[in-house]
Protein backbone atom coordinates (compact mmCIF):
# COMPACT_ATOMS: atom_id res chain seq x y z
CA UNK A 1 0.00 0.00 0.00
CA UNK A 2 1.40 3.40 -0.95
CA UNK A 3 1.84 6.09 1.63
CA UNK A 4 -0.92 8.71 1.87
CA UNK A 5 -0.38 11.93 -0.05
CA UNK A 6 -2.92 13.99 1.92
CA UNK A 7 -4.04 14.09 5.54
CA UNK A 8 -7.56 13.20 4.39
CA UNK A 9 -6.19 10.04 2.84
CA UNK A 10 -4.67 9.04 6.18
CA UNK A 11 -7.94 9.78 7.98
CA UNK A 12 -9.79 7.77 5.34
CA UNK A 13 -7.81 4.66 6.34
CA UNK A 14 -8.51 5.26 10.04
CA UNK A 15 -12.26 5.71 9.50
CA UNK A 16 -12.39 2.61 7.30
CA UNK A 17 -10.99 0.45 10.12
CA UNK A 18 -13.26 2.10 12.70
CA UNK A 19 -16.25 1.41 10.45
CA UNK A 20 -15.26 -2.23 10.07
CA UNK A 21 -14.73 -2.65 13.83
CA UNK A 22 -18.03 -1.04 14.86
CA UNK A 23 -20.03 -2.86 12.18
CA UNK A 24 -18.52 -6.20 13.23
CA UNK A 25 -19.26 -5.41 16.88
CA UNK A 26 -22.86 -4.55 16.00
CA UNK A 27 -23.30 -7.79 14.06
CA UNK A 28 -21.79 -9.81 16.92
CA UNK A 29 -24.24 -8.12 19.25
CA UNK A 30 -27.18 -9.08 17.01
CA UNK A 31 -26.23 -12.75 16.91
CA UNK A 32 -25.74 -12.84 20.68
CA UNK A 33 -21.96 -13.22 20.92
CA UNK A 34 -21.58 -9.84 22.63
CA UNK A 35 -23.94 -9.12 25.49
CA UNK A 36 -24.40 -5.88 27.44
CA UNK A 37 -22.68 -5.60 30.81
CA UNK A 38 -24.86 -5.44 33.93
CA UNK A 39 -23.88 -1.78 34.50
CA UNK A 40 -24.44 -0.79 30.87
CA UNK A 41 -26.97 1.90 29.98
CA UNK A 42 -28.24 -0.35 27.20
CA UNK A 43 -29.42 -3.76 28.42
CA UNK A 44 -31.00 -5.11 25.24
CA UNK A 45 -28.52 -6.81 22.83
CA UNK A 46 -30.48 -5.75 19.73
CA UNK A 47 -30.41 -2.08 20.76
CA UNK A 48 -26.69 -2.40 21.45
CA UNK A 49 -26.30 -3.92 17.98
CA UNK A 50 -28.25 -1.05 16.42
CA UNK A 51 -26.07 1.52 18.20
CA UNK A 52 -22.83 -0.13 17.04
CA UNK A 53 -24.13 -0.61 13.49
CA UNK A 54 -25.22 3.04 13.36
CA UNK A 55 -21.75 4.14 14.48
CA UNK A 56 -20.13 1.77 11.97
CA UNK A 57 -22.25 3.12 9.12
CA UNK A 58 -21.47 6.68 10.23
CA UNK A 59 -17.74 5.93 10.09
CA UNK A 60 -18.18 4.42 6.60
CA UNK A 61 -20.01 7.58 5.45
CA UNK A 62 -17.23 9.81 6.80
CA UNK A 63 -14.67 7.53 5.11
CA UNK A 64 -16.53 7.88 1.81
CA UNK A 65 -16.58 11.68 2.11
CA UNK A 66 -12.84 11.68 2.82
CA UNK A 67 -12.31 9.41 -0.21
CA UNK A 68 -14.16 11.92 -2.41
CA UNK A 69 -12.10 14.82 -1.00
CA UNK A 70 -8.87 12.89 -1.63
CA UNK A 71 -9.95 12.09 -5.18
CA UNK A 72 -10.74 15.77 -5.85
CA UNK A 73 -7.37 16.83 -4.44
CA UNK A 74 -5.55 14.30 -6.64
CA UNK A 75 -7.50 15.49 -9.68
CA UNK A 76 -6.71 19.13 -8.89
CA UNK A 77 -3.01 18.29 -8.39
CA UNK A 78 -2.82 16.47 -11.74
CA UNK A 79 -4.70 19.24 -13.58
CA UNK A 80 -2.37 21.87 -12.14
CA UNK A 81 0.67 19.89 -13.29
CA UNK A 82 -0.76 19.64 -16.81
CA UNK A 83 -2.37 23.03 -17.34
CA UNK A 84 -1.15 25.24 -14.48
CA UNK A 85 1.14 28.19 -15.02
CA UNK A 86 4.71 27.25 -14.10
CA UNK A 87 6.24 29.96 -11.88
CA UNK A 88 8.99 30.26 -9.29
CA UNK A 89 8.12 30.35 -5.63
CA UNK A 90 10.09 30.60 -2.40
CA UNK A 91 10.34 27.97 0.33
CA UNK A 92 9.43 29.54 3.66
CA UNK A 93 9.75 26.48 5.86
CA UNK A 94 10.25 22.72 5.71
CA UNK A 95 8.88 20.97 8.77
CA UNK A 96 8.22 17.50 10.11
CA UNK A 97 4.64 16.73 11.11
CA UNK A 98 5.63 14.69 14.15
CA UNK A 99 2.07 14.08 15.36
CA UNK A 100 1.05 12.51 12.04
CA UNK A 101 2.44 9.03 11.54
CA UNK A 102 2.04 6.18 9.11
CA UNK A 103 4.10 3.04 9.56
CA UNK A 104 6.14 4.68 12.37
CA UNK A 105 7.22 7.43 9.98
CA UNK A 106 6.20 11.10 10.04
CA UNK A 107 5.78 13.16 6.87
CA UNK A 108 7.37 16.47 5.94
CA UNK A 109 5.60 19.49 4.48
CA UNK A 110 6.90 22.50 2.63
CA UNK A 111 5.41 25.95 3.22
CA UNK A 112 5.98 28.07 0.15
CA UNK A 113 4.97 31.46 -1.22
CA UNK A 114 4.63 32.69 -4.76
CA UNK A 115 3.39 35.75 -6.59
CA UNK A 116 0.84 35.25 -9.34
CA UNK A 117 -0.80 38.10 -11.24
CA UNK A 118 0.44 40.61 -8.67
CA UNK A 119 -0.96 38.76 -5.66
CA UNK A 120 1.12 36.90 -3.06
CA UNK A 121 -0.06 33.40 -2.09
CA UNK A 122 1.03 31.19 0.82
CA UNK A 123 0.47 27.43 0.51
CA UNK A 124 1.74 24.13 1.87
CA UNK A 125 2.68 20.99 0.01
CA UNK A 126 1.14 17.57 0.18
CA UNK A 127 2.64 15.00 2.60
CA UNK A 128 6.26 14.18 1.74
CA UNK A 129 7.53 10.93 3.24
CA UNK A 130 11.21 11.52 2.49
CA UNK A 131 13.01 14.62 3.70
CA UNK A 132 13.01 17.17 0.86
CA UNK A 133 16.28 18.81 -0.17
CA UNK A 134 14.99 22.33 0.35
CA UNK A 135 15.84 24.92 2.97
CA UNK A 136 14.35 28.28 3.82
CA UNK A 137 14.47 30.84 0.97
CA UNK A 138 15.25 28.22 -1.71
CA UNK A 139 13.54 28.61 -5.06
CA UNK A 140 10.85 26.06 -5.90
CA UNK A 141 8.78 25.45 -9.04
CA UNK A 142 5.08 26.09 -8.43
CA UNK A 143 2.18 25.27 -10.73
CA UNK A 144 -0.66 27.75 -10.19
CA UNK A 145 -4.00 28.68 -11.72
CA UNK A 146 -6.24 31.76 -11.76
CA UNK A 147 -8.29 30.52 -8.79
CA UNK A 148 -5.44 30.65 -6.26
CA UNK A 149 -4.80 26.90 -6.31
CA UNK A 150 -1.24 25.65 -6.56
CA UNK A 151 0.93 22.58 -6.24
CA UNK A 152 4.58 21.63 -6.42
CA UNK A 153 6.30 18.74 -8.15
CA UNK A 154 9.37 17.25 -6.49
Q: Sign of dihedral through CA atoms 138, 143, 148, 151? A: negative
Is 109 in a helix, a strand, or coil?
Answer: strand
User: What's residue 13's pLDDT?
Assistant: 93
Q: Say if residues 5 and 127 touch (Cβ distance below 8 Å).
A: yes
Written as tens digits, the pLDDT of the chain (154 aa) is 688 999 999 999 999 999 999 999 999 988 888 777 666 666 777 888 888 999 999 999 999 999 999 999 999 999 999 999 999 999 999 999 999 888 889 999 999 999 999 899 999 999 999 999 999 999 999 999 989 899 998 8
* pTM for the predicted model, two decimal places: 0.83
In total, the chain counts a number of residues equal to 154
Q: C-alpha angle 28/34/38, rounded to 5°?
A: 155
Instruction: Give φ, ψ of 60 to 5 degrees.
Output: -65, -35
Burial 84-115 (b: 16+ CB within 10 A, else e): beeeebebbebeeeeeeeeeeeebbbbebebe
Amino acid sequence: MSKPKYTEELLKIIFLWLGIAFTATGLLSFIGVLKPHANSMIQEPTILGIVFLFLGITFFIVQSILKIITSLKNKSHNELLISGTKINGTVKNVYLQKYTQYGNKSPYRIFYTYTYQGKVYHHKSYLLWDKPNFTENDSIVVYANDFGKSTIQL
